[in-house]
Amino acid sequence: MTTPLIELNGLTQAYGSLVALKDLTATIPPSSIGLVGANGAGKSTLIKVLLGILKPAAGSASVLGLSVTDATIAMRERVGYMPERGGLPPDQTAADFMIYAAELAGIPRKAARQRASDVLTLVGLHEERFRHLGDFSTGMLQRALLAQAIVHDPDLVLLDEPLAGLDPEGRDQMLRLIGRLRGFGIYTLVSSHVLTDIESTCDWIVMVEGGRIIRNSTLESLTSGKTVDVEVLDHTETIDALLRERGATVLRRGHHLAVTTSSGDPYDLIHRVLAETGGGLRLLKASVRTLEDAYFEEGRGAS
């Protein structure tokens, strides 16, 4: 059995009387994880607990099978972190800082130099490697932050709001970079409140709301549904009644019907009902449920 990437058991974290994470229990398999939630939901706190920076008030957490409290140092050798803000000294060149960041993780000097050069090339900063970080634009800084997070060849990188402050082009570049990491065997945990970004890079979603996990599942299971959008030309009321009679849930707006079945193939059911009534069909398509739809529905359910 594959070791879970992240495992939480009754994890609770508090800042004084303010409880930031409440009794979190989850098992997350090796995947590209999207950690979603509103600002203040507890995403950054959870990342800091996973890094072993914050000690849990109760419960336990492990990353790559290593306890974040008992095997912090061993765990950190295999984990990279891209903080939400700061993290780069403005007086150092990109190359120098990457070498240093690799050496801090125990990579020998010679290998650190090679890896620094490689990752700066990977993030598109090879030409800028001898420039001081203080002279970098926001987009370049974000790419440099990503580079330092992978320079020591981690198995998992924790990316805290990696797209914050980026323009559309910068976001696109960063998303493509993050998407490539999986191909290198580096798993990612991306924290963001921009759900479309998560949708394009992750295949496992952890939704956090008010310090609790409200959903922990694959992206596919969240966004796929058995709802079909139908637009008919006539006999709308009869079709609606027959569908309901046969166990479907129907939302009707004019000639438009959103048909959901709890079991069985909704297309089959619609086909049979239309054949019986002789109703004309204008549109038939699977209803698209975005992560945003799922988030708001789950969020409503939780609250």
Partner 1 sequence: MSEAGPVSTRNPMVSGAAAAMRDASVPANAEGAIYDLGYAPHEGSRLGRPAAIRAMIIDGSRRVLGLRRKAWAKVLPWGLIAAAVVPAAWVVALSFVVAGFSLEDAGPFADPAEFFEMIGMLAMLFVALAGPTLLIPDRQHGVLAIYASRPVRAGDYLVARAITLAGLTSLFILIPHTIRYLGISALYVDGLWAGLLEHGKDLPAILGTTAAYVLGYGAPAFLVALFVRRVPIATGVYGLAMFLSGALIEAMPRATELLVFKVMAPLALFWNPLSVRDWLFDQEPEQLALDRVGFEPWVGAIAIAGITLVTAVIAHQRYRREF
Distances (CA, A) of 47 to 30, 35, 75, 87: 16, 9, 13, 15
Residue closer to partner 1, measured from CB, 56 or 279: 56
**Two tokens, residue 206:** 């952890």
111 to 130, contacts with partner 1 by CB under 8 A? 111, 115, 118, 121-122
Site string for partner 1, 64-83 (x = CB under 8 A): xx-------xx-xxxxxx-x
Residue closer to partner 1, measured from CB, 96 or 293: 96
Stretch touching partner 1 by CB under 8 A, among 1-9, 241-249, 250-258, 277-285: 1-9
Residue closer to partner 1, measured from CB, 78 or 212: 78
* Binding residue (CB under 8 A) for partner 1 from 17, 39, 91, 169: 91
Per rule CB under 8 A, is residue 104 in the interface with partner 1? Answer: yes
100-124 in b/e form (b: 16+ CB < 10 A) is ebbbebebeeeebbebbbbbbebbe
Site string for partner 1, 205-234 (x = CB under 8 A): ------------------------------
25 to 64, contacts with partner 1 by CB under 8 A? 30, 51, 53, 64
Minimal distance, residue 218 CB to partner 1, in Å: 18
Nearest CA to 208 out of 260, 156, 160, 257 is that of: 160
Residue closer to partner 1, measured from CB, 26 or 111: 111
Per rule CB under 8 A, is residue 184 in the interface with partner 1? Answer: yes
User: How do 204-209 and 33-36 pair as beta strands?
Assistant: parallel
Residue closer to partner 1, measured from CB, 5 or 232: 5
Minimal distance, residue 83 CB to partner 1, in Å: 4
What is the Rg, in whole angstroms, of the alpha carbon atoms belonging to the chain?
24
**How far, in Å, CA of 253 to CA of 256, rounded?**
5
Sheet holding 6-15, edge to edge: 18-28, 6-15, 58-63, 66-67
Nearest CA to 35 out of 172, 181, 217, 208 is that of: 208
Residue closer to partner 1, measured from CB, 132 or 289: 132
Q: From its phi and psi, is residue 170 left (phi > 0), alpha (psi between -120 and 50) or beta? A: alpha
Minimal distance, residue 46 CB to partner 1, in Å: 15
Stretch touching partner 1 by CB under 8 A, among 13-21, 105-113, 190-198, 263-271: 105-113
**Two tokens, residue 236:** 């709308």
